[in-house]
């Protein structure tokens, strides 16, 4: 059997690539970089790769909306696993660069958001967003200019021949990102899982509709670990809910909750069921 093809947010040197090799062994995969999160998810959807890995949530900046919205609106992918990684942000520049040389800093919007306090110490520097941290690092190497620095991984510095101008520039030492591993929806979901992600559309916008749903989980003793509302794209104020809960799809209580919520007329889609990743 050939190696599994796994798409990731590239180029090489992103946090997503680190997460990929945390989950899969180098021997079993053929890793394929894509420029955007949407490109990764589309590649899985159309069968170009077997799996895809993308960020979904960060402990400082919250949800990665691009990922949540793609899952809700674009395709019908299945989340088969999650990976949680500690995130250490670094300022990367050409060797020999001094902080006073830097006029522009580029990175992924989430990485920029994780380093706000550090960036405030550089009031004369403009900040640019790039598709990923490694893409910005690659650009620093390409421009060969000391004016431009990137925020990203220590591995990207090595990969693109850059120096770490300043290490650990994140706003908090407790910085973690959760990544999801997606695949095309399997015929049979896994039999052992202890976490499930649901997408819920309320039947109607009336007082107590959300409480109604939450009460079902309470009554069945199901612990919710995250709830996020995102626009349905059907008008201002119209939202659906992405709910993470403790329990696998094989659990009777989870099955019951899904059935009851459905009989109330709310629409529910299981986005995935998998083994919870422990924080490292
Ligand atoms: O740009 C990267 O290196 C990524 O893997 C993306 C990403 C994100 O989207 O949150 C992943 C982890 C960090 O939180 C910062 C950036």
pLDDT (tens digit per residue) in 152-170: 999 999 999 999 999 999 9
CA 106 to CA 91: how far, in whole Å? 10
Residue 50 has pLDDT above 70, yes or no: yes
Indicate if ligand 1 lies below 6 Å from the C-beta of 196.
Answer: no
Domains of the chain are 4-87+176-184 (3.40.190.10), 90-166 (3.40.190.10), 195-274 (3.30.70.260)
State the closest ligand 1 atom to the C-alpha of 9, by its place in the atom list counted from 1: 5
Work out the pLDDT band at 205, boundaries 50, 70, 90. Answer: low
What pLDDT, on a 0 to 100 scale, did the predictor assign at position 27?
A: 95
Work out the pLDDT band at 1, boundaries 50, 70, 90. Answer: low
Residue 187 CA to ligand 1 center (angstroms) comes to 31
| SS3 assignment, position 21 | helix
Residue of 52, 70, 87, 133 to mutate, ligand 1, most atoms within 8 A of C-beta: 133
Indicate if ligand 1 lies below 6 Å from the C-beta of 15.
Answer: yes
Indicate if ligand 1 lies below 6 Å from the C-beta of 54.
Answer: no
CA 200 to CA 210: how far, in whole Å? 10
Give this complex's ipTM: 0.95
Residue 206 has pLDDT above 80, yes or no: no
What pLDDT, on a 0 to 100 scale, did the predictor assign at position 236?
A: 87
What pLDDT, on a 0 to 100 scale, did the predictor assign at position 207?
A: 67
State the closest ligand 1 atom to the C-alpha of 156, by its place in the atom list counted from 1: 3
For the chain, how many residues are written?
A: 280
CA 79 to CA 277: how far, in whole Å? 13
What the block records as the tokens of 280 is 């490292």
Indicate if ligand 1 lies below 6 Å from the C-beta of 63.
Answer: no
**In the chain, where does DSSP find H-type helix?**
15-23, 37-45, 65-73, 109-113, 116-120, 133-143, 154-159, 209-219, 252-263
How many CB atoms sit inside 10 A of residue 224's CB?
14
State the closest ligand 1 atom to the C-alpha of 134, by its place in the atom list counted from 1: 3
Q: Are 92 and 14 in contact (CB under 8 A)?
A: no
Indicate if ligand 1 lies below 6 Å from the C-beta of 87.
Answer: yes
How many CB atoms sit inside 10 A of residue 88's CB?
15
| SS3 assignment, position 85 | strand
Do the bridges between strand 4-9 and strand 239-246 make them parallel or antiparallel, or are there none, so unpaired? unpaired
Nearest protein Cα to ligand 1, atom 1:
132
CA 159 to CA 169: how far, in whole Å? 20
3-7, 67-71, 135-139, 202-206: lowest mean pLDDT where?
A: 202-206
Indicate if ligand 1 lies below 6 Å from the C-beta of 16.
Answer: yes
Residue 89 CA to ligand 1 center (angstroms) comes to 10
Indicate if ligand 1 lies below 6 Å from the C-beta of 159.
Answer: no
Indicate if ligand 1 lies below 6 Å from the C-beta of 132.
Answer: yes
């Amino acid at each position: 059997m050939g190696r599994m093809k796994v798409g990731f947010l590239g180029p090489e040197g992103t946090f997503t690539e680190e997460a990929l090799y945390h989950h899969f062994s180098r021997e079993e995969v053929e890793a394929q970089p894509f420029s955007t999160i949407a490109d990764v998810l589309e590649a899985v959807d159309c069968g170009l790769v077997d799996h895809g890995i993308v960020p979904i949530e960060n402990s400082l900046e919250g949800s990665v909306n691009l990922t949540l919205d793609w899952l809700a609106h674009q395709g019908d992918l299945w989340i088969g696993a999650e990976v949680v990684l500690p995130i250490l942000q670094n300022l990367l520049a050409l060797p020999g660069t001094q902080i006073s040389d830097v006029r522009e800093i580029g990175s992924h919007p989430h990485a920029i958001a994780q380093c706000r306090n550090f960036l405030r110490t550089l009031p004369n520097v403009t900040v640019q967003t790039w598709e990923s941290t490694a893409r910005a690092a690659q650009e620093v190497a390409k421009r060969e200019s000391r004016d431009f620095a990137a925020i990203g991984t220590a591995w990207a510095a090595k990969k693109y021949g850059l120096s770490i101008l300043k290490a650990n520039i994140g706003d908090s030492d407790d910085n973690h990102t959760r990544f999801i591993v997606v695949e095309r929806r399997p015929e049979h979901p896994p039999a052992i899982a202890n976490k499930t992600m649901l997408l819920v559309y309320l039947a109607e916008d009336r007082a107590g509709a959300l409480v109604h749903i939450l009460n079902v989980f309470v009554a069945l003793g199901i612990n919710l670990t995250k709830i996020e509302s995102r626009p349905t794209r059907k008008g201002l104020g119209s939202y659906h809910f992405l709910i993470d809960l403790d329990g696998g799809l094989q659990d009777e209580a989870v099955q019951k909750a899904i059935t009851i919520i459905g009989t109330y007329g709310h629409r529910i889609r299981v986005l995935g069921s998998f083994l919870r990743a422990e924080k490292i």
